[in-house]
Structure 1
Amino acid sequence: MDTTTWTLEQVKDRISKGQEIDERVVDIGQNTVVKFADNVSAEEGEATMFIARMTSVPVARIYAILRDESDGVTYIVQEKLRGEPLINHLPTLDTATRDALALELQKILNELATLDKGHMGLFGRPSQYGSGILAKFDPPVPPIESPEDFLRWLPHNVRDNYGRDEAPLPTGIFDFSRPPIFSHGDFVPENILIEDGHVTGIIDWAYAGWYPYFWNDYIARRRSTLMAFQDGKWSQMVGQMMQPFPEEFRAFQQLYYRADSLL
């Protein structure tokens, strides 16, 4: 597909004739989908292209990134990958298939970890974060160069910008000597596509960027606490595919929820 021919008018016309997959994604045919909304960013598409260029991780080809300045909506025209979200099949997967998928996902995470150190924050947006309370802070956060900066910034921001007592930073738990890692930012079953027992794609790179060393485990382990994952199958896969950081998880969870309760 010629990526140079897309115009905003063409994309909108194709969307009007396409099939909605969810509230932000429309299948416009020819194995192509468009993701769009006022909270979709060009950096998500750029992060996807970065991963395609720098790794062998299966991601969608990006055909065009367009923005309608009249309403602030960004449109990412991209390849429709094969497969269905892991979450749809996780409860019925046999042990051998789960183990094989965990190994494939481990290789993906290991490859992402080899990427050069970047600036702490979202891809293309240093010192910014887009998830949960991390996206609530206004004004923008100060420069964050290390995991220690990140962990100290969260409680300080609650104090300085919201006039509340800061959540104390637990001591003796976080290893501030460890550099940040590149992370998908939301490596959970909803964003992992599988088909015939194999990983076919990792989607939704909106939160991709550089985070503290324990971030993959924190996000995956937090998801396993939800009711839909109480059968423990996702937790088992998490234990197989990434290094566990249980103490950091508990400490950051406490810090995060303390800050969230004050906002």
Structure 2
Amino acid sequence: MESQPHNDRLWIKLLVLLAYKTATHKHARRLSWSSQTGGVIPISPKLCIKATPFTQLAEANAMRFVAQHTSIPVPMVHCAFEEKGQTYILMERIEGDTLAQVWGQRSDESKARILRQLKGIVEQLRRISAPPSIGVANVDGGPIFDHRLPRKSSWGPFATIQDFHRELRSGIDAGDIEDDASSPGVKDMASFHEQAWQAPVFTHGDLSALNILVRGDEVVGIIDWETAGWYPPYWEYTSAKHTNPRNLWWQEEVDKFIAPMHEALEMEAIRRRFFGDF
């Protein structure tokens, strides 16, 4: 299904485009905003606009979906639309620090309180009922997006988890894979892929310390939902463990708020080695 715009009346679109143009010019004079803000431009103390080459309407719809079905703190989406091939999302600007900024200064008690909240957030996502017959897809049933996946950023949608896994193996059938010295573990990975799976679960897909906002010991925002969608049950865990391989400290924390899935992690390591970077 194609993702639809939200609150895209003409006068609102014109105001958003004007605000975005003004704000980008302002920030360009002071710093390289695209590298410093990830393409999210503040236009007031309470509002910001996201518009990157990768921004899609599905990201806005994912935030609205999560807000409707959970109590997870996500930015309120005021408007989302496409204009000349570019997607613009006008949303709430949440005040807070990223965990990446403050984690090293937290006490053990503070870290434990934050991790308990993150565990509850992941549990809420996993309790959302999947639509009938959904496979691997974005929130609207369309293609998933992840620039870390091999060869391309937009994938699917896929009717089944097995179809998704087959695409991750570059279309190679599990029966055609043989283990040998040059590809250890690949046959085991394929068997893991082809097992009977439970229904997909709604997944953020990029739970890095950069995408979690806190004020004090309170988690006040989960941001950057561009990779969100319906995925295999292990995907949140393996994605969080490898969202930034250089952040070894964060990999150690992930097991404290997402139930460890060691076999899936091993199989994903094999897949990344032989079939892709992520």
* TM-score, normalised relative to structure 2: 0.78
* Partner Cα distance (1:192, 1:144) in 2: 29
* Partner Cα distance (2:159, 2:9) in 1: 37
Give per-residue Cα distances to partners, 1:233-258, cap 9 Å, x unaligned: x2343122111011211111211331
Is residue 2:219 matched to residue 1:196?
Answer: no
Instruction: State whether residues 213 and 220 of structure 2, in contact with CA within 8 Å, keep that contact through their aligned partners in structure 1.
Output: yes
1:91 counterpart residue number: 104
Is residue 2:41 matched to residue 1:26?
Answer: yes
2:65 counterpart residue number: 50
* Partner Cα distance (2:153, 2:19) in 1: 36
Compared CA separation, residues 125 and 84, structure 1 to 2 (3 A): same
| Root-mean-square deviation over aligned CA pairs | 2.7
Identity %: 22
1:152 corresponds to which of 147, 154, 166: 166
Instruction: State whether residues 193 and 199 of structure 1, in contact with CA within 8 Å, keep that contact through their aligned partners in structure 2.
Output: yes
Greater than 6 Å deviation, 4+ residue runs: none
Unaligned runs of 5+ in 1: 160-165
- SS at structure 2 position matched to 1:75: strand
* Partner Cα distance (1:128, 1:16) in 2: 29
* Partner Cα distance (1:224, 1:207) in 2: 15
Compared CA separation, residues 3 and 177, structure 1 to 2 (3 A): closer
* Partner Cα distance (1:109, 1:32) in 2: 26
Unaligned runs of 5+ in 2: 1-6, 28-32, 174-182
Instruction: State whether residues 144 and 227 of structure 2, in contact with CA within 8 Å, keep that contact through their aligned partners in structure 1.
Output: no
Is residue 2:226 matched to residue 1:211?
Answer: no
1:181 counterpart residue number: 201
1:171 is displaced (CA, Å) by 5.3
Give per-residue Cα distances to partners, 1:104-160, cap 9 Å, x unaligned: 00000000001111421222244534332356179x64x62333332223214379x
User: Which is worse superposed, 22-31 or 51-60?
Assistant: 22-31
Instruction: State whether residues 217 and 242 of structure 1, in contact with CA within 8 Å, keep that contact through their aligned partners in structure 2.
Output: yes
Instruction: State whether residues 60 and 77 of structure 2, in contact with CA within 8 Å, keep that contact through their aligned partners in structure 1.
Output: yes
* Partner Cα distance (1:23, 1:89) in 2: 19
Instruction: State whether residues 122 and 130 of structure 1, in contact with CA within 8 Å, keep that contact through their aligned partners in structure 2.
Output: no
Instruction: State whether residues 84 and 195 of structure 1, in contact with CA within 8 Å, keep that contact through their aligned partners in structure 2.
Output: yes
Is residue 2:189 matched to residue 1:170?
Answer: yes
- SS at structure 2 position matched to 1:82: coil
User: Which is worse superposed, 105-114 or 243-252?
Assistant: 243-252
1:132 counterpart residue number: 148
* Partner Cα distance (1:115, 1:129) in 2: 20
User: Which residue identity lines up with residue 212 of structure 1 in the other structure?
Assistant: P
* Partner Cα distance (2:8, 2:232) in 1: 35
2:130 counterpart residue number: 117
Give per-residue Cα distances to partners, 1:153-202, cap 9 Å, x unaligned: 3214379xxxxxx9656255465333221100111111100111110000
1:257 counterpart residue number: 273
- SS at structure 2 position matched to 1:34: strand
Instruction: State whether residues 203 and 231 of structure 2, in contact with CA within 8 Å, keep that contact through their aligned partners in structure 1.
Output: yes
Give per-residue Cα distances to partners, 1:57-98, cap 9 Å, x unaligned: 0011111112112xx111100000121111111222211111
* Partner Cα distance (1:137, 1:91) in 2: 33
Instruction: State whether residues 34 and 76 of structure 1, in contact with CA within 8 Å, keep that contact through their aligned partners in structure 2.
Output: yes
Is residue 2:255 matched to residue 1:239?
Answer: yes
Instruction: State whether residues 144 and 229 of structure 2, in contact with CA within 8 Å, keep that contact through their aligned partners in structure 1.
Output: no
1:220 corresponds to which of 236, 240, 258: 240
Instruction: State whether residues 155 and 169 of structure 1, in contact with CA within 8 Å, keep that contact through their aligned partners in structure 2.
Output: no
